[in-house]
Amino acid sequence: MFMASGSSTGQPPAALPDNRPRSRRKCRLFMHGQCKFGDLCKRSHGDPPGEVTASPTLCMPVPSTTNRERKEKAYRINEASRGGEAANAEVAQKVQKTGGEAAAERVRQVHITLHSLQAKKQEELLEWRAAEVALEEQQAQEKATRQAEARRAHEVRQEEARRAQQEEARRAQQEEARQEEVRRAWYEEARRAWLEEAQQAEQEREAAEAALRAQQAQEDAARRAEVHRAQEAQQEEARRARQAEQEARMVELAKEEAAMTMQHIVLEFIVVTFNAGLGIQDVLLGFESCRITIKNLPIDATVKEVGELFTQQGIELSRFHILGLARTPAGRQEAFLIGHEDLKIVAIGLEEIEFRQERLSFEIMDHSGGDGLTASALDANTLTLTWRASLNSPTEESLDASNIVPRTGDTEEAICPICYDAATPPIRLGCGHAYCNECIRHFLTSASTFPLVCMGGEDKCHAPIPIPMVQRFLPIQQFTNLLETAFITHIDHHPRDFKHCTTPDCRQVYRCTTSETASIIHCPSCLSSVCSTCHEEGHEGMTCAEKKLNNDVEHERLNEELAAQSGYKKCPQCAVWIEKIDGCNHMECKCGAHICWVCMRIFDAQSVYEHMNTAHGGMHGVNGDGVEPLFQPEDFAEQQEVLRLMALRRAQLEQQQRQEAEDAQHFLAQQHLYARQLRQQEDARMQGEARRVDLIRHMEENRWAEEHPRAEEHPPRVEEVGWREINADRQAQEQHGRVERGGWGCVVM
């Protein structure tokens, strides 16, 4: 059996044997609906069972409805071809039966008819095919459009799918990264936790070791502190014992210094014995003294041994003064003395006495003997002391010796009673009061009131200043001048006991006597004679009353007239001529008497003003020279009120000064306390810092040893912070003023 097959020329399709093998390859035109061979196509139009035909160019499969339409169209075309072929076969059979030309004509006509029909059918088929082609083109275009749209949609979907895949991949990557981060964080957290646990364990171990070391250090520190406290207690006990011994020694030294006396020659002939404060203990005047020379003394004889020659006879040291020893060409010594006239008898009794198996000889002469040998020739200003001391600036030893007060209050600031400021440097007297160096020096050099006493305790102490203390602060010339000033002040304040020589230019002093008979004495300086009772020129052979009767009356009258014209008056206590220049009627003589210039009566310093206001109507009353008083009697009450207000104001000022001094002392004490607290805090901070640095250094060394157990180099060391106390100022103060100067000696009694 043969199958019909169409051709492109319009000929009837030829039949394809059924046993002709078809290609296994699929028809590409059939898949697009454009195959014109139909079943005669050598390529396969169908799908094997269980297989699905897929377009090789499109990813999306062709819908089943389109394939079915195509198959129906192909089937109709095949049916039409088969109908034409069947008609042709019938015509051929009829031609064969009829034969002939007619038959042939008919056949031809039939063929023409058939041909026309076939052409018509072919034309219809072509039209149909053209329409179908147009339809197919339209469908193809629509399909292409749909395919393009589908492709675009597919591409969009693919792009979306790609984007979705990328997004999914990104999300997956992010998720993976997050999970990786989570894993990393977990790992890091686990590692950190492990490290923290290890570090905590290490810290706990180090803390335990540090606590153990701290405990051991505390125990060691406690032991050391206990030992240190014991040592400090022992040192404190030893210091207190030394301090008590030193204080006892200082008290003894103060007592010795307070009891120390010295002799000094003033005005060339007068031997004055001074005690503490440069008070006058005894005076050996030139009018009543003699000069003694002891000869044939051994070469090694001392001043002390010479003095013992007289003290063993009951003669007080104040009754004589050893000027010095001098060597003779014969290898012996001679001693020169100034003594009271009573020593003449003692010297005569000691004549030819043996001294160290040597016979002594004494030579006695009066100052008025005219031999020219005076005390000045033997350097009368030289003092013979048994010790030496610096005269310009006190040394450290002299200051310590003068400080006899227990040092319990040394931590407090000492206030100078002169300047009311902190004593710098503090010079303590035997009574315990401290002075500034310059203040005590100025106080001694400008002194005019004797004896010199302490001004401490608001000028209530009045403890005499020892002679060695005065010598430590004054050079020899100033000290000599101060001794002469003390002597002259003593003479001026005792006018009834001492008088000056009647010769105008003579400075010698004699002792007054109260005997009724004349006591004629001779001045060792000017060699004039003076009566020590009536204080006139010597009147040998006459009593004082007889001398007064023999005086020239006219001379006395002229003297009184001259004194009245010049405004001179005699002091009622010492009989010295005095003159009033200006001021009130309160006069103070150099002898210490407080005198009313109007009535020339003697009062004390407090009652003289009351006397002048009551008796004379004020302080500036008429004094005989026509001067009217400044205050009238009716102003007496006002004057008294002014004086009272002045006294009240003075008391207020003194109270204010004392309060300011106390406030200043309290402020200085607070400053020193605050400075000491700051130093203690700084010391504690430095000690804590040193302990912390030491602990860090030990920890670093231990850590280095654990990390480098086999390292040969030394472990790094932390810089250690140390501290020390510097006290150079105190040492500088101790070294300040240590200048060695010359001294002198005197006999200590």
Per-residue pLDDT tens for 693-713? 888 877 777 777 777 665 544
Q: What pLDDT score does 646 carry?
A: 76
Secondary structure E strands in 560-669: 568-570, 577-579, 586-588, 594-596, 602-603
Q: What would the pLDDT profile of 121-171 be if each residue is shown by its tens digit? A: 777 777 777 777 777 777 778 877 877 887 788 788 888 888 888 888 888
In 3D space, the residue among 676, 567, 580 whose CA is nearest the CA of residue 625 turns out to be 567
pLDDT for 454 beyond 70: yes
Instruction: Give the least confident one: 109-113, 212-216, 224-228, 405-409.
Output: 405-409
Supply the mean pLDDT for the chain.
73
**Over 60: is that where the pLDDT of 404 sits?**
no
Contact assessment for residue 600 and residue 572, using Cβ atoms and an 8 Å cutoff? yes
Q: What percent of the chain has pLDDT over 70?
A: 74
Question: 325 has which bridge partners?
Answer: 335
Q: Write down the architecture of domain 263-386 according to CATH.
A: 2-Layer Sandwich (3.30)
Q: Answer whether the bond into residue 629 is a cis peptide, omega within 30°.
A: no
Residues of the chain with CATH 3.30.70.330: 263-386
pLDDT of residue 712: 45
- Encoded tokens for 236: 């404190």
CATH 3.30.40.10 in the chain, residue ranges: 388-493
pLDDT score of 212 more than 70: yes
pLDDT (0 to 100) of residue 629: 42
Nearest to 330, CA basis, from 298, 360, 301: 298
pLDDT tens-digit series, residues 234-285: 888 888 888 888 778 877 877 787 788 888 888 777 888 888 888 888 888 8
Give the Cα separation of 273 and 266 in Å (integer).
Answer: 11
Q: What is the pTM of this model?
A: 0.47
Whole-number Å distance between alpha carbons of 410 and 426:
10
- Assigned token pair, 474: 């004054």
Cβ atoms 587, 612 nearer than 8 A: no
- Helix H, strand E, coil C: the string for 299-318 is CCCCHHHHHHHHHCCCCCHH
pLDDT at 635: 53
Instruction: Output the pLDDT for position 408.
Output: 39
User: pLDDT tens digits for 21-62?
Assistant: 555 667 777 767 777 777 777 777 765 544 444 444 444 444
CATH number among 3.40.50.620, 3.30.70.100, 3.40.630.30, 3.30.40.10, domain 388-493:
3.30.40.10
